[in-house]
Structure formats: structure tokens, C-alpha cells
């Protein structure tokens, strides 16, 4: 995965998060943290968000692209 692929992947995540209304009040979610973890032999990128209006929390999970080619010391958390 090159830098452009990584940017497209991250960009698509933000589009999904920005287009998802809060399930409680319909407000917008704000990204709090993001990290990779591995579950069921699949790398997932989990982004923790909270609602800007009511504070309701939601975790967005995305299937991560091939991350093995990326330097694990750069902003990837493998739990």
C-alpha cells in the first residue's frame, strides 16, 4: 500500500463518519482516536468517535487494507 492508497483509505473513513448522524440526536460525530487492531485474523481500523451535541459515543470499525507493507512504528497500534 502506497501513500496515495493510505490517503484514500483514510479519506473514505472520514466520509463515512461524517455522513453518519448520531443515533441519539442526529448530530455529527467527532473523531477522538483511531488505531488498528487484529480480530479474527483480520486487521481492523477502529475509530472512536463522540457526538458533538450529546456526547454519545460510537466506534466505527473498518477492514484495514494490507498494512503489512507499512512501517508499524508509524501511528499503527497492533493490540
* Residues in touch with Zn ion (CB under 5 A): 22, 24-25, 27, 51, 53-54, 56
Q: Is 60 exposed, middle or buried (0-12, 13-18, 19+ CB in 10 A)?
A: middle
Would strands 29-39 and 57-63 be described as parallel, antiparallel, or unpaired? unpaired
Output 9 or 60, the one with its CB closest to Zn ion.
60
State the minimum distance, in angstroms, from the CB of residue 26 to Zn ion.
7
**Helical ranges in the chain per DSSP H:** 3-18
Q: Which three cell numbers stand for residue 67?
A: 498494512
CB closer to Zn ion out of 22 and 49: 22
> Is 22 or 70 the residue whose CB approaches Zn ion more closely?
22
Closest approach, Cβ 69 to Zn ion, in A, equals: 38
Amino acid at each position: 500500500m502506497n501513500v496515495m492508497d493510505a490517503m484514500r483509505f483514510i479519506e473514505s473513513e472520514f466520509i463515512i463518519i461524517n455522513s453518519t448522524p448520531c443515533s441519539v440526536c442526529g448530530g455529527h460525530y467527532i473523531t477522538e482516536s483511531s488505531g488498528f487492531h487484529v480480530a479474527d485474523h483480520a486487521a481492523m481500523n477502529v475509530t472512536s468517535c463522540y457526538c458533538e451535541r450529546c456526547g454519545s459515543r460510537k466506534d466505527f470499525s473498518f477492514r484495514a487494507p494490507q498494512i503489512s507493507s507499512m512501517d508499524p512504528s508509524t501511528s499503527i497500534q497492533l493490540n
